[in-house]
Chain A
Amino acid sequence: MTVTVPSGSLARGRALRVLRAGRSNPTLAAGSVVLAIVVIIAVFAPLLAPFPADAGNATHPTQVLLAPSSAHWFGTDEVGRDVLTRVMYGGRTSLEIVVAVLAIAAAIGIPLGLIAGYFGGVVDQVIMRVTDIFLAFPALLLSLAIASVLQPSVGHMILAIAVTWWPWYTRLVRGEAASVVRRPYVESARTLGVSHRRIIIRHVLPNAATPVLVQISMDAGGVLLTAAAISFLGLGAQDPTCEWGLMVSQGATYFTTNWWYATFPGIAILITAMAFNLIGDGVRERLDPKRVLSR
């Protein structure tokens, strides 16, 4: 994938632009508002949830699979726990996973890409061939394979997804870095006695970062869905952890008779993934106008 951006002038005042974006960028604004609501609910779940105890392994044998009512807006699950409570707590798990996966993938992928693009030659070849090996497998399959050999847990699922995610960032950053390296200011920095490490961090990274920031913001939704898929297949989060994919999977068993159990966590996945994608599109629009124009 190639992404071209005029760097430099765009990198300038990046944060400010994002803040100012709301007015002129409804996509970003809408996504941000929805995500903000999701984040607030997730963060304050212990205060907001009607039955915080139900987030764990409480059981209420008398209230099994109750339909939505004024007491249980989203109904209850097969052991009588409040589905609304579990959906709220599920937001915590999902956001944790998204942040952790993207952070790990960026922490591995960006430095490797910078090194490959900056030094070129053999270093570049080695790093890029390694990413090729990872990219040769379909990402979801590789994640599933890794998750299946590890104990199913949220932590291992994060690892399994991050392993397949970083090579994309490496490729993206490498391409940018390789072009930034040839710009005169890099040579000029070298004539002033700046070390390789400093040039990479101070000169190459800021000028190569825009496309990968865009990509990361666009990937959040994908990570969320991947995590939900892995949990749905039983290889990720395990009960009593509240995780939307897992809840959909558990609720699917009862779907024909008790529709609410699978439906509400499903809607939560839908809304959150959509918010992430809106933000991703919005960020791209702000930081990467060329790509939008060329579509």
Chain B
Amino acid sequence: MSLIVRELRIGFGERTVVEIDELQVGDGEIVGLVGESGSGKSVTSLALIGLARSAGAWVEGSIQLDGRELTSLDEAQWRQLRGDRIAMIFQSPVSSLNPVFRVGDLFVRALRLHGATKAEARDRAARAMREVVLSPELLRRYPHQLSGGQAQRVAIAMAVALRARVLLADEPTSALDVTVQAEILELIQRMRREEGISVLFVSHDLAVVAGLCDRVAIMQSGQIVETGPTAATLRAPTHPYTQGLVAAIPRLGGTHA
């Protein structure tokens, strides 16, 4: 599924915080949205799943999912779309799961919400867990009994089980240590390869984006200042902000500024 954003404006009250002329995530493509804190990455991803308004923002412009205009959807239509077509994973995996329910219950609830029967939901949950290389045994645990990496896998498994076609990943690895981070990135890549899902990967970490994304969009104070294939863009950045970001990547053996 492809996601095409055009002339998107997001703001709070009088202030416009995001102005994106164009942003595309093609079918089966992983696109990195990179920028520093406060550059508008997170509110953009919220807008793409229809939650920016309930965060108090206004949204104008066009967001198209396989040609279907999303900005004009009402709340009920959005609800059907969320989880079903578009899913989102977050920075703090453990606290993204309601602590009072077992992981399996969370799965079953989410799946039943989108029309699965109970037995079907259990079955799909177990299969999705195996797909993200977790034991279905973990479905019996409470979220706090999972590690950060396990919880993030669970979140991805949930998106997989729901058969979401577009995954919005808002800094999904920032809270994880480096080895776990690598596993999650590998998992996202595999999901793209095997399921053909499209991913918008929001991050401030250029090194991670360089290893994962096909294309990259660099965001500064709400605007996309540069976009292109990841390797080319990072090798020869044209915009001064991108040049600054690339220069700021710490390298082994480099001299300290």
Choice from B90, B109, B114, B168 contacting A202 with Cβ under 8 Å: B109
Number of A-B contacts (CB under 8 A): 72
Q: Is B104 part of the binding interface, using a Cβ–Cβ cutoff of 8 Å?
A: no
Name which residue of chain B comes closest to A11, CB basis.
B100
Choice from B80, B95, B98 contacting A203 with Cβ under 8 Å: B98
Report yes or no: A184 in contact with B81, Cβ–Cβ below 8 A. no
Shortest Cβ distance from A15 into chain B, in angstroms? Answer: 12
**Could you pull out 25 A-B pairs where Cβ atoms are within 8 angstroms?**
A7-B99, A8-B100, A8-B144, A12-B99, A183-B95, A185-B97, A185-B99, A187-B51, A187-B96, A190-B54, A190-B82, A191-B49, A191-B82, A191-B83, A191-B168, A192-B162, A193-B79, A193-B80, A193-B114, A194-B113, A202-B98, A202-B109, A203-B98, A206-B98, A207-B98
Report yes or no: B158 in contact with A192, Cβ–Cβ below 8 A. yes
Complex CA distance for A7 and B78, rounded to whole angstroms: 30
Complex CA distance for A58 and B197, rounded to whole angstroms: 81
Name which residue of chain B comes closest to A209, CB basis.
B100
Q: How many residues of chain A are within 8 Å of chain B by beta carbon?
A: 22
With contacts A184-B90, A202-B109 taken as known, whether A191 is within 8 angstroms of B51 at the C-beta atoms is yes
Residues of B contacting A190 in the complex (Cβ-Cβ under 8 angstroms) = 51, 54, 82
Name which residue of chain A comes closest to B144, CB basis.
A9
Q: Is B142 part of the binding interface, using a Cβ–Cβ cutoff of 8 Å?
A: yes
Shortest Cβ distance from B95 into chain A, in angstroms? Answer: 5
Q: Mark contacts of B229-250 with chain A using CB atoms, 8 A cut-off: 1 yes-contact digit, 0 otherwise.
A: 0000000000000000000000
Interface positions, chain B 39-84, Cβ under 8 Å from A, are: 49, 51, 54, 78-84
Q: Is A64 part of the binding interface, using a Cβ–Cβ cutoff of 8 Å?
A: no
Q: Is A189 part of the binding interface, using a Cβ–Cβ cutoff of 8 Å?
A: yes
Complex CA distance for A202 and B162, rounded to whole angstroms: 19
With contacts A12-B142, A187-B90, A188-B155 taken as known, whether A193 is within 8 angstroms of B97 at the C-beta atoms is no
